[in-house]
Structures are given as C-alpha cells and as structure tokens.
Structure 1
Amino acid sequence: MPLSAKAFQRWLHGVAPDASVADVARASGVKRTTLAQQLVRGKVAEATVVGISRAFNINPVAALGSFESYQDLGQPPVPPTLQELVSQIATADLLHAIIARTEIIARTDPDTGTGAGPPELSPPPHATSVKNWVDAIDDGELRHRVSAATGVAPQNYSAQLTANRLAPELAVATSRAAGVGLAGGLVAAGLVTEAEAGWPPGARQAALDLLTDGELAVLAGERLHALGKALRRQEHDQRQTETIWENLG
C-alpha cells in the first residue's frame, strides 16, 4: 500500500528539513522524476522511503513505522524463528553446506585441528525466498487469514509468491497473521536487509549449523524437487510456445 504523499512530506521535512527534492533524489539514488511523479500522484512507494532512510542513516524499518499504515513496525524487533532463518538460505548455499560437511576431514588443519570454516552465505533475497518464508511460518491456514485480513484474493496472493515478490503491506500482514516478527517478510522480499530488520549477526549461519546432516539433506532435496518442477513447467511452456510459432509460420 503506497504511502500518502502528505504523510511522506511531513516525514521528509523532519528527516531533511532543508533538502530539496533534487537533493533528496541525489543522496538516495531515487530518480528525481520518479520521486516527483509519486508526489504528484499522492502515493509514495515504500521503497522510496527505504532508499531515503538509508541515505540519511535512518533505519528503514523504523522509518516505515513512522507511517500510520506501518506503525507497528516501530515496536522493538522480534527475533526471527529458526524456520524463517533457514528459509532465507539459498539452495546453492545448502548444497555447499552438504559438500562442506562431507569434506570436513579434508578441510581440517592437521596442526590446529580446526577446519577452514564455512563459506559466507549469500544475502537474502534468493530465487525462492518469499515462498520459502511463507511456507516456513504457515500453519496451514495462514494464506486464508491473510486474504481475510487484507481482501487480497488467495490466487493473487499465491501469484506473488510464485513470482518471488510480496508487496510490503502483504508482507507485514503475513507476519502479523503468523505471529512472527513483522519485518521478516520485508527481508524475504528484499526491501530491507537482515541487519535493518534487527536480525542478529550470523543468525542464518547459526540456524544452518543447527541442522543435522539428515535435516540438511532432506531440506536441500525438497528445494531441488521444487526447482525441478518449476523448470519442467518452464520447459513445457517453452515447447508449447515454439509449437504455436511453428504452426503460425
């Protein structure tokens, strides 16, 4: 839900009272024309607030909490669950972890008895981060609760998950309906970073380390199975498209 331009201008005046639109655009990396168009239309995108907040060293989650529609984001952050943390680990990183665990003896320093350490995890979002996050916090009725609370049809909600995106208001509504930290969905959708959401440093790696070898293998297998299904659908659609063009040609 885009933010009211009037509310945005009040917020911006408090953040940078002497800055012009051009100054704000230049500092934040938001295009001047984009910002001007949003102000004219009376609706400012959440991503614009995030970009400006970073430019002026303000936590983006706290900044969004300054607006009425996101006011509960101003509350102290709630730590993510183990399931949320694992959902934000890319499939490639899971596979790297499996390989690293099987090669732990080869990677161990014979002099110190210590390993080389795990490779650094890639930051969220990843290719299926949004759907994985929702699946991680879904008790089986979550989608229906979100639909009832927001008025968004379940099929439209599912379409966003399939496209690996989630509008900020839906991300927060999903967190609220699941009873988890409100900024988790914003991390999964790539609007804010782990640190900006208040996630502890190294939390995802710690969650990964807690997985047993069996749990890690099962999770990676589920991810690969889902990826395989998606790729087969794409290949099927591509073949159908090529057949249509051949028939037309």
Structure 2
Amino acid sequence: MPLPAKAFQLWLHRVAPSASTADICRISGIKRTTLAQQLVRGKVAETTLVSISRALDLSPLTELASFDHYAELGAPPQPPTPAELVSQVATMDLLRAVISRSSPAYGGYGDSDSASMRALSPAPHATSVRNWVDAIDDGELRHRVSAASGVAPQNYSAQLTANRLSPELVVATARAAGVGFTGGLVATGLITEDEAGWVPGAKQSALDALSDGELAALAGERLQALGKSLRRHEHEQAQTEKIWENLG
C-alpha cells in the first residue's frame, strides 16, 4: 500500500527538517516531477521512501516501519529460512554450483580460485519473487493471502508471473506463511540483502547445505521453468510478427 502523502511529508520533515524538496530529489535521484505527482495524488510509493532513506544514510526497513501499515517491520527481524535463501540464488549460479560439484576442472570447491568463482549474484534475479513464494508455499498460501488481502487469486498469480509483488502483498504473504518479512522485500528488490540484515554468505551456506541430489533437482526445476518462459516468449513474438506481416 502506498504511503499516505501527509504521513510521508511529516516523516520527511522529521528526518530532513532543513532540506528542501529540490535538495531531497537531488541527493536521492528522484525526479521532482515524480515526487510532486505522488504528493498530489496523495500516495507516495514505498520505493520513494527507500531511495530517500538511503540518501540520508537511514535504514529503509526501519523508516518504512515508522508508517502504521508497515509497523510489523519494526519487530526484531526473523531470519530467512534456508529455502528462502536458496530461492534468491540465480538460476545461472545454481548451474555453476552443479558443474562445480561434478568436476573440479570447472572450478570445483578445491580449486584455489573457487572463492571468486562461487561468488553469488545479489538478489533479486529474473524469477526471485516467484521462487520466494514457491519456497514458503504449503499448497494453500495463495488462497490465504487472497482471503486476507482481498486480492483476487488470478491477480496475485499475474503479479508472480511478472516476477513482481507489491510491498503490501509481500507483507501479507510473509504473514500468511509465518516467515520473516525480509525475504520477500529482498526478492522484490525493495531493499538489499545488507539492508535486510542478512548474514554475509548466508545464501552460499544454504546452497552448500543442499545435497547433490537436491541441487540437481532444483536446477532441473529452474531450467524447466525457464524453458516454458522462453517458449511462451517465442510464441508471443511469432504471433506479433505474424500480425505485422498481415498488416502488410
């Protein structure tokens, strides 16, 4: 849920009392027209607050928690589960891990350069949101979130297909799953792993803890999903080209 403009302005006055709107926009990289439009509409995007918080060297998570609708974020953070951490490992990194385990010649763990070769890409990645939800879903999660939030299941699924989820739905999803809130906020890219307080190397540790079979199965699932996505994109592209050809 976007932040109420009045509450946002009160927050801004509290954290930067002597800064003008122009100053805030300059240091945060936000366009003045963008901020002005949000204020006029009475709804300020959470990403706007995050950008300003970073520019002022404030914790985005803490500042977001100062707003009533996100007050739950102010509780002591619950660490992400191993499944959540692995969900934020990019597919290409999973494939590198499979190769690394199968043959030292391709950068196995015993190799002197393995530390640099095993460096994982930061979240989010191309399927991070959908992977996060799948990692915490017990089979009924989507229905519980829909019932609690009032968002139709098809609309919720559409957001996941597009690999996005509003911060409001991230919080609702985490609450319904009984997990911490940072996993989803990182998966959507609203905050970074560092800002979420994740332990450095946590993703790598969770990945290392997978057995060879678990790793291979997960990589296979990711590849299958990637294949479906690519085929769908190719089909849509072919249909578009066909339409243009018919239009002459």
Whether TM exceeds 0.5 here: the answer is yes
Give the drift of 1:52.
Answer: 0.5
Give the drift of 1:241.
Answer: 2.3
Give the drift of 1:206.
Answer: 0.6
1:116 aligns with 2:113: yes
Amino acid at match of 1:97: A
Aligned partners of 1:108 and 1:115 also within 8 Å: no
Matched residue SS, 1:123: coil
Matched residue SS, 1:78: coil
What residue number does 2:224 align with?
A: 225
What residue number does 1:18 align with?
A: 18
Aligned-partner Cα distance in 2 for 1:106–1:60: 39
Matched residue SS, 1:25: helix
1:41-52 correspondence to structure 2 within 5 Å: 41-52=41-52
Give the drift of 1:108.
Answer: 7.3
1:138 aligns with 2:153: no
Aligned partners of 2:100 and 2:108 also within 8 Å: no
Amino acid at match of 2:235: H
Matched residue SS, 2:104: coil
Amino acid at match of 2:170: A
TM-score by length of 2: 0.95
List runs of 5+ in structure 1 lacking aligned partners.
none
Q: Deviations over 1:166-219 (max 9, x none)?
A: 111011111111010012111000110011112111100110111111111111
Q: Deviations over 1:125-176 (max 9, x none)?
A: 1000000000000011111111111111111111111111111101111111
Give the drift of 1:232.
Answer: 1.1
Matched residue SS, 2:94: helix
Q: Deviations over 1:10-40 (max 9, x none)?
A: 1111111111101111111111111121112
Aligned partners of 1:138 and 1:178 also within 8 Å: yes
Change (3 A) 1:247 1:83: same
Overall identity of the aligned pairs, in %: 71
List runs of 5+ in structure 2 lacking aligned partners.
none
Aligned-partner Cα distance in 1 for 2:106–2:43: 57
CA RMSD of aligned residues (A): 1.6
